[in-house]
Chains A and B, each alone.
Chain A
Amino acid sequence: MRPLVVGGEALLIELDSADEVAALHAELLRRRDAGELGPVRELVPAARTVLLDGVRDPAALGARIARWEVPQLAPTQGPQVTVPVRYDGPDLAEVARLWGVAPEEVPGIVGATDFRVAFCGFAPGFGYLTGLPERFHLPRRASPRTAVPAGSLALAGEYAGVYPRSSPGGWQLIGSTDAVLWDPRREPAALFAPGVRVRFTEGDGRG
């Protein structure tokens, strides 16, 4: 665990794996809710880091966090959502080919995976979902699409994600869902908030 000071009021904690990030993020949330963390405006997990913004003394806080015993995250810890998916994506056949399986096997592989929202970014409510075994990690498309339809289930690198709204994107599209990923009038606004566990079920896509 490496604390890095970011300007006058922020701190980046660098870790070795997505699992360590998830565990530290859960611990930070727990301690913040228990009033043990002090004031912090933003708590932003990412691929290998957690950012704490709006803190009083970043160097001192970093030294303190580095001494914490952070418990590993149990696979069953955190809220869970189930998202129905139609496997109708334009890249389904290509993904099956890259995985060396038949296209009909893709829903089973995705459906058997325990995903967790590692972090959000790119657009409000876009979650980066980890959990796919390494042999199923995929390259991005050679040329990004100018418009990916909202609700597209997509894969790239070690991540899966669902586009909350239509936007350009270079991920491989395998399916689609009618689930509402992002609604600012809802609490929480993002269906896929960091720490949420996600299962994809094969269905008509209606959530």
Chain B
Amino acid sequence: MAEGLLVVRPGALTTVQDPGRPGYAHLGVPRSGALDTAAYALANRLVGNAPDAAALETTLDGVGLRALAATTVAVTGAPCPVRISGRPVAWGAPVRLPAGAELEVGRAESGVRGYVAVRGGLAVPPVLGSRSTDLLSGLGPPVLAAGMALPVGPPGPDPAPGADACGLPGPPSELVLPLRLGPRADWFTEASLAGLWRSAFRVSALSNRIGLRTEAGSALVRARAGELPSEGMVLGAVQVPPDGLPVVFLADHPVTGGYPVVGVVPPGPALDAAAQARPGVPVRFSAAR
């Protein structure tokens, strides 16, 4: 394989992601896909890729890659230092990666998840129409490991220069998540629901691609006993386990769940911000229509 990238330093958790594999939830297949959808889309635009091209999603400490052939790459998402063979280059912009050169995506200065798009997109074999790594069910390519080769597809047309001169919002210092109540808000007491809007939760270190877990804050209190039969879950669903602390479901969430969903955070900027919120960041919920 002359074209492609060789993984030199895999980083803490680096996966291949694209828009995911919606449409198979009825077979037990999670949606998966890039968590920070705007940063992922920008990385692809910067290198002239189709919007659904597969890219890398890094976690906190970036990734190191060697180019097997000359190409163009762009790093977006969590701001971080980017070097090519030791020389600093631009973050959030297309940069030329000569054959044999090493791309070093450094530790995130803020935020959690970085995106590395390569011109032509990563050409790992798709599974059920998607190249996303699904950590919950083990579909798609494995998590990156040192020595792994990543094939790259044929390049598309050149990106329009200056198309992405506008900036992205930085990672949040406080996460405010619009929440639309339902379908199981009636499983909780009126008083604890009213308190939900005032409660200061924090992002828990147990958060992952499956869900953003919260800690601290005032727990939601059940208004009824008993178990909820397992039911279908959507992206952004806020599930409340028996400890009363909300879990916001992200891309790798299970397709069904047995704890009541108090409400849903609409996909888009709020969930993108949730993907970048570090443990300890304050979380509030605001009422959405």
Contacts and interface: CB of A to CB of B under 8 A. Distances in A.
B255 interface: yes
A43 B24 CA distance: 9
A63 B53 CA distance: 39
Interface residues of A, number: 36
A7 B232 contact: no
Nearest to B138: A165
B170 to A, nearest CB: 26
A48 B229 contact: yes
Interface in B45-94: none
Interface in B215-238: 229-234, 236-237
Interface centre among A4, A45, A184 (most CB of B within 10 A): A184
Given A6-B182, A6-B264, A54-B22, A44 B232 contact: yes
A188 interface: yes
A10 B180 CA distance: 12
Interface string B95-131: 0000000000000000000000000000000011000
B109 to A, nearest CB: 33
Contacts of B236: 7
A106 interface: no
Interface string B230-256: 111110110000000000000000111
A170 interface: no
30 contacts: A6-B183, A7-B234, A7-B237, A7-B264, A7-B265, A7-B266, A8-B264, A10-B234, A41-B23, A43-B26, A44-B25, A44-B232, A46-B229, A47-B229, A49-B232, A51-B25, A51-B232, A53-B25, A54-B22, A119-B256, A121-B230, A121-B255, A122-B28, A124-B24, A124-B27, A125-B28, A126-B28, A189-B27, A193-B27, A194-B26
B231 A48 contact: yes
B261 interface: yes
A184 B128 contact: yes
Given A7-B236, A8-B266, A46-B231, A120 B26 contact: yes
Interface in B157-205: 180, 182-184
B126 to A, nearest CB: 9
B43 to A, nearest CB: 24
Interface of B: 22-29, 127-128, 137-139, 180, 182-184, 229-234, 236-237, 254-256, 261, 263-266
A48 B261 CA distance: 15
Given A12-B232, A46-B232, A124-B29, A189 B24 contact: yes
A42 interface: yes
A101 interface: no
Given A120-B255, A124-B28, A42 B23 contact: yes
Contact of A193 (B26, B231, B233): B26
Contacts of B139: 124, 184
Contact of B27 (A9, A46, A120): A120
Contacts of B256: 44, 46, 119, 121-122
Nearest to B30: A124
A51 B26 CA distance: 9
Interface string A39-69: 0011111111111011000000000000000
